[in-house]
Structure 1
Amino acid sequence: MSILKIAIQKSGRLNEESIKLLESCGIKIDNGKDQLKVAVPNFPIELLYLRNSDIPQYLEDGVADVAIVGENLLVEKEKDVAIVQRLGFSKCRVSLAVPKEVLIDDLEYFNNKKIATSYPNTLNAFLKKNNIQSELHVISGSVEIAPNIGLADGICDIVSSGSTLFKNGLRETQLILKSEAVLAKSNNLSEEKNEILERLLFRIRAVLKAKNTKYILMNVPNDRVEEVSRILPVLKSPTILPLAEEGWCSLHSVIDEDTFWDVIDELKIAGAEGILIVPIDKIVL
């Protein structure tokens, strides 16, 4: 029987979010101390705990079949792998930043300047596209300190909240790349492993869909059911149950998280009352 080998970050935030996602998919993970390879008892997968920067290479070589990894790392490493699902967590961006006393936001500031970065390939491609000539200093960590010690005029680094830039007297000026955690796969998967991956993707998508939606229940006059139903197009059709009070029904459906408050306002205008919102664990379509 084939086993799908999944690489995840050995430690850190991406590790925690990856484990949480897999466990939400019903996958039991029992990782003993310092284990780097863990078999899963209730699903045909095996987890490989790897150093984050090594994952793209292992994926391209086929040592790992799939991986949960930051999109920014895949772009930087330029490996021949395919993204099969965006996962919506560990969102960040790769950006250019300058000392806060520099008041110029224009990209031209970096022409003939020194830039410290841990993302030379991503930065080189961006600069070349925009016809900017810069001198790159590749640093493996603590890039933010480079302008303060005179090593560079600016930096290119990963940014989440921007607090680290602020603490080091820097400010963000140019967005190069938006990133999030993705599920990527090797291009050498067998038919059997692709089938296991599809089963896993089915579960992941059910979990992700549930995260972005809410279950909604409300009381609606019978003559307003059609109007209210048009406001809730997430499912094929809402569930409608009669109430004890004549002329009224209980309508059940789901709404998108992003449009939650706008939809609630529309529902109230349409005559809905007693609106109840409930979190959803999973949605299977």
Structure 2
Amino acid sequence: MERLKIAIQKSGRLNEDSLKILKESGISVSNGLDQLRATVSNFPMEILYLRNSDIPQYLIDGVVDIAIIGENLLVEKDQGSIKVLEKLSFSKCRVSLAVPKTFEYNNIKDLAGKKIATSYPNTLNKYLKSEGIDAELHQISGSVEIAPNIGLADAICDIVSSGSTLFKNNLKEVEVIGRSEAVLAVSPEISESKKEILDKLRFRLQSVLKARNFRYILMNVPDGQIQKVISILPGMRSPTVLPLAEKGWSSIHTVIEKNKFWEVIDELQDLGAEGILVAPIEKMVI
């Protein structure tokens, strides 16, 4: 049986989140410790655990058909032939410039002629050129944030999530030059037959991603307020209304965007809604 080959990061946060979304999509992965290849028992797919920086080239060469990878790496490798199919809403970060806290920074011109350490030289070079800034770049791997402390550089360019690593190294973020998240990327060499398998996987992923943005909400409402409650609930099509055993009351069930709930909770309570329950949704097929 033909199998879709997917590459994910060998270890780290991206690895964990990638396996999590595959599991939520009904993909059963069975692999042992330190195994570089894993089979899937219930879907025509094979997983290859690869070093993050190697994945773009494997996609270009057609060694793997698809990959879950950080968008920032595709930008750095300048692989325009690799198509991004889905943004996966995890492993979000930004590519930023940072300087020591004692550095008097006003704007990007303050870095002209300075030494900047980075693991993303292409991304940084493009940004500096666009700003008309000439600086000296030092390409290093790992622990970029230590460079200013040991006198290797005046500033750094690196990925930032929470900013805690910068804080621990007495650095401050001064410019965001790009934003990134995990994406599903596809090889330009993928065959038509494997595209059919990919479409099925993509459908599953989309169902999981949609569900993460919504919540299932149910509440008890006085019958006289049903229409008003329905009018303020941004449901998908039409709420379900069920009569309760207690006369004069009904239960309303609907789906709401998770970030909209707190916007309407006060209105719902003012209309007499009681016993409001909010639950996560595992999958959503629209």
TM-score normalised to structure 2 length: 0.95
Q: Distance in 2 between matches of 1:231 and 1:190?
A: 48
Structure 1 residue 202: Cα displacement: 1.2
The residue number in structure 1 matching 2:21 is 21
Q: Distance in 1 between matches of 2:248 and 2:106?
A: 61
The code of the aligned residue for 1:228 comes to V
CA 1:105–1:263: 2 relative to 1, 3 Å: farther
The residue number in structure 2 matching 1:75 is 75
2:206 aligned counterpart, secondary structure: helix
Structure 1 residue 44: Cα displacement: 0.7
Structure 1 residue 85: Cα displacement: 0.9
Q: Distance in 2 between matches of 1:262 and 1:144?
A: 40
Kindly indicate whether the alpha-carbon contact (under 8 Å) linking 1:105 and 1:174 is maintained by their aligned counterparts in 2. no
Aligned residues with identical type, % of pairs: 64
The code of the aligned residue for 2:252 comes to L
The residue number in structure 2 matching 1:273 is 274
Q: Distance in 1 between matches of 2:271 and 2:25?
A: 37
What are the ranges of 5 or more consecutive residues in structure 2 without an aligned counterpart? none
The residue number in structure 2 matching 1:43 is 43
Over aligned residue pairs, what C-alpha RMSD do you find? 1.4
Aligned length: 285
1:182 aligned counterpart, secondary structure: strand
Q: Distance in 1 between matches of 2:111 and 2:162?
A: 23
Q: Distance in 2 between matches of 1:234 and 1:44?
A: 36
Structure 1 residue 283: Cα displacement: 1.4
Q: Distance in 2 between matches of 1:234 and 1:85?
A: 25
Structure 1 residue 163: Cα displacement: 1.3
Q: Distance in 2 between matches of 1:135 and 1:193?
A: 45
Structure 1 residue 204: Cα displacement: 1.0
1:258 aligned counterpart, secondary structure: coil
1:129 aligns with 2:130: yes
Q: Distance in 2 between matches of 1:151 and 1:158?
A: 19
The code of the aligned residue for 1:129 comes to S
What is the 5 A alignment of 1:188-267? 188-267=189-268
Q: Distance in 1 between matches of 2:267 and 2:91?
A: 33
The code of the aligned residue for 2:278 comes to I
What are the ranges of 5 or more consecutive residues in structure 1 without an aligned counterpart? none
Q: Distance in 2 between matches of 1:210 and 1:77?
A: 32
Single out whichever of 72-81 and 259-268 deviates more from structure 2: 259-268
TM-score normalised to structure 1 length: 0.96
Structure 1 residue 49: Cα displacement: 0.6
What is the 5 A alignment of 1:106-185? 106-185=107-186
Structure 1 residue 233: Cα displacement: 2.5
Structure 1 residue 185: Cα displacement: 0.8
CA 1:266–1:2: 2 relative to 1, 3 Å: farther
Q: Distance in 2 between matches of 1:174 and 1:105?
A: 10
2:259 aligned counterpart, secondary structure: helix
Structure 1 residue 34: Cα displacement: 2.4
CA 1:167–1:274: 2 relative to 1, 3 Å: same
Q: Distance in 2 between matches of 1:230 and 1:124?
A: 52
The residue number in structure 2 matching 1:12 is 12
The residue number in structure 1 matching 2:103 is 102
Structure 1 residue 95: Cα displacement: 0.2
Question: Cα deviation per residue 1:9-57 (whole Å; 9 max; x = unaligned)?
Answer: 1111111111111111111111122221212110011001100110111
The residue number in structure 1 matching 2:87 is 86
Q: Distance in 2 between matches of 1:31 and 1:257?
A: 35
The residue number in structure 1 matching 2:33 is 33
Question: Cα deviation per residue 1:158-214 (whole Å; 9 max; x = unaligned)?
Answer: 111111111111110000111111111112222221111111111111111222211
Q: Distance in 2 between matches of 1:197 and 1:263?
A: 39
The residue number in structure 2 matching 1:3 is 3
